Amino acid sequence: MTVRETVNAAKERIGEADLAELFEGSRKVTAAKGKKVVVLDLAKDPDAQQQLAAVVLGPTGNLRAPSAKVGKNWLIGFNEDEYSKVFG
């Protein structure tokens, strides 16, 4: 699977108001905070959209880095195991 879109969250300021547009059409978000990994199924879980900001935004209110869109799925933050699953 190849990366279709990346977001340089360290340089681009993407806040809560931008999340609906950014994640529109996405199916799954895998967000890592340290060793903790949270997976939101945006396509099937009606409550996932409401949890999105808490999972993908850092303490400054901006999208956490690194952030990458792979197909219709997103990887937010870094977790070696999750990146290995996607990129091998």
Global confidence as pTM: 0.85
For the segment 66-86, what is each residue's pLDDT rounded down to a tens digit? Answer: 888 999 999 999 999 999 998
- Cβ contact 3:88 at 8 Å: no
CA 57, CA 63: separation in Å to the nearest integer? 5
The average confidence (pLDDT) of the chain is 88
46 pLDDT more than 90: no
